[in-house]
Structure 1
Amino acid sequence: MSDEDTALGEAANAAEAVSNTRVLDVVARSGFAVMALLHIVIGAIAIALAFGQPGQAEPTGAIEQLAANPWGPGVMWAGLIGCAGLSLWQLSEATLRARHLPAGQRLGKLISSGFLAVAYGSVGLTFAGFAVGLRGDSGDSTRDFSTALVQGPLGVPALIALGLTVIGVGIYFIVKGVRKQFKEELHHFEGTRRGRMISALGVAGHVAKGIALILAGLLFVVAAATNRPGESTGLDGSLKALRDHPAGPFLLMAIAAGLISYGLFALVRARFGRM
């Protein structure tokens, strides 16, 4: 091994040690709690959509609901800090700690944790926008991003690749839920009523979140295939499109219940999860 490789290895070890500090642990756990709250609010908005009520069933809509409360400004800054810490923690999972995994698992960890790092960072920026008085519609942001991506050098293939990546992450969540792989992230509750309840929340929540991501990813792929990037409207657009089908309201209610379940599971993850 060369001196350069040794120096890089020592730098990576030092960075990993920093990522294991108590401060980042606490902030990342608060980020899980923030995301739990958002999933519960999004689930509640999705239920309202199933009954024909207006709303945005995505992070921006949920953050807008939280910002409207008297304690809104404090919640916005707390949400920003929590999401930023969680994004940094996921980034360290995708890079620093993934290097210890077998080669076959390394790529999967890079994609899944890397995607989540970007997603949590994006939610953190939304909190920041609301904190300083800049509010937006995530559907509009998604459309603008998709349009800009299509007009870029790689164009349609890039948008299809993005959609397939989102679909892949959705499949990952479903598999994780069905196989109960989320149990590896928790301190054991096996053999207790509480453990069975947490397991049920984990299964329902991961499967519902996976389905929601697949629907959102499909919108990207369809928008790219039809060369209409304006139709890629993210989670909110996919759930509203689902509502328009004959059995849509019932499916939307099921997904909403699953998202709330995921939120409750994430609260448990925030308190008892392995970091």
Structure 2
Amino acid sequence: MSDQSSTADEAVAGAVDDIVERHPWLEQVFQLGWVAKALVYGLMGFTAIQIARQTAASDEASPEGSVAVVAEASFGRPLLGVLTVGLLLYFVWRLVSVAVIRGNGLDEWAHRVGYAFSGIFYLLLAYTAGKAAFTGVDPEESNTVESLSKSVMEVTAGRTMVGLAGLVTIGVGGFFVVHKGLQRSFTDDLISVRSEPSHNEPKRAALVVAGVVGWIGRGVVTALVGFFVVRAAVRFDPNEARGFDQSLRQAAESGLGTALVVVCAVGLIAYGVFCLVSHRFRTLEE
């Protein structure tokens, strides 16, 4: 069985190598998706800083809010067109990631599911950006999490389903903080980058630090969303559910919460920087 698995792995690796060798431009095209992702999270972080300072009246600290910020800028629609292409390429990247995973263990299936959901999320975001770019219609500012929670709560066992979804979201946030951030597992996907910053040259060491801070910040924000979803289920009130933006605004209403939002903002900006810099250390072979 192991010999068959090894043969399959070699076949997949050989197929990917052959594609890259025949179409070397594909690598640069796929990497553009990480640049687009960097822009989205960077804008989310800057908006979160405004929320912490209580100065954000309209911008959303969410992926959709980032699209809205780009749409309002000079040359916003052409930039949204580029962003759409980048996000679509990132979606394709995730599909490829799912396709090349071998094995049927828990870890392999967890990565398949994670990559699939990630791909779907960025595909929807690409649709939002593309619609704004080609029609001029600004992204709708709606609490998708709240709307979805309300719909689910209306069905039988919906309250339980919402509660479980919130717990899973908290778990994903914890996974980001511990496995991706503190344990620095993200370095496994980067070429010639070691998990210990001191074992790298300055440029790669800075990349590792940005990755740690970024993944921790992203994890805290994700867990915060999960907390409000669970609270909505406990109180049986879908209005208590919060997305990225509303979770940060709710937390910023207290002094301690403001500090938490600042931490999240710094983490989101760091994650954006990590995505921007790390695209040079990613290859289709890896």
CA contact (8 A) 2:61 2:244 kept: yes
Q: Does 1:165 align with 2:168?
A: yes
CA contact (8 A) 2:143 2:243 kept: no
Q: Does 1:141 align with 2:144?
A: yes
Determine the C-alpha separation between the residues in 2 that align with 1:153 and 1:84: 36
CA contact (8 A) 2:144 2:243 kept: no
Cα displacement (A) at 1:27: 3.7
CA contact (8 A) 2:252 2:261 kept: yes
CA contact (8 A) 2:207 2:278 kept: no
2:34 corresponds to which residue?
32
Q: Does 1:125 align with 2:134?
A: no
SS of the residue corresponding to residue 52 of structure 1 reads coil
1:93 corresponds to which residue?
97
Higher mean C-alpha deviation, range 56-65 or range 184-193: 184-193
Determine the C-alpha separation between the residues in 1 that align with 2:64 and 2:97: 26
Q: Deviations over 1:107-153 (max 9, x none)?
A: 21123212211221221122123122333445433322222222245
Q: Which amino acid aligns with 2:32?
A: S
Of residues 270, 274, 279 in structure 2, which corresponds to 1:261? 270
With structure 1 as the length reference, what TM-score do the two structures score? 0.85
Cα displacement (A) at 1:167: 2.1
Of residues 159, 172, 182 in structure 2, which corresponds to 1:156? 159
Q: Does 1:177 align with 2:194?
A: no
1:59 corresponds to which residue?
63
CA contact (8 A) 1:178 1:207 kept: yes
**Can you give the 5+ residue segments of structure 2 that lack an aligned partner in the other structure?**
1-7, 194-198
Identical-residue share of aligned pairs (%): 24
Q: CA RMSD in A?
A: 2.5
Q: Structure 1 28/160 Cα, relative in aligned 2: closer, same or farther at 3 Å?
A: farther
Higher mean C-alpha deviation, range 203-212 or range 241-250: 241-250
Q: Deviations over 1:45-91 (max 9, x none)?
A: 11111111123111122111111122111111222222122123213
With structure 2 as the length reference, what TM-score do the two structures score? 0.82
Q: Structure 1 121/160 Cα, relative in aligned 2: closer, same or farther at 3 Å?
A: farther
CA contact (8 A) 1:138 1:234 kept: no
Determine the C-alpha separation between the residues in 1 that align with 2:257 and 2:150: 28
Where do residues 105-124 of structure 1 align in structure 2 (5 Å cutoff)? Answer: 105-124=107-126
CA contact (8 A) 1:185 1:269 kept: no
Determine the C-alpha separation between the residues in 2 that align with 1:242 and 1:69: 28
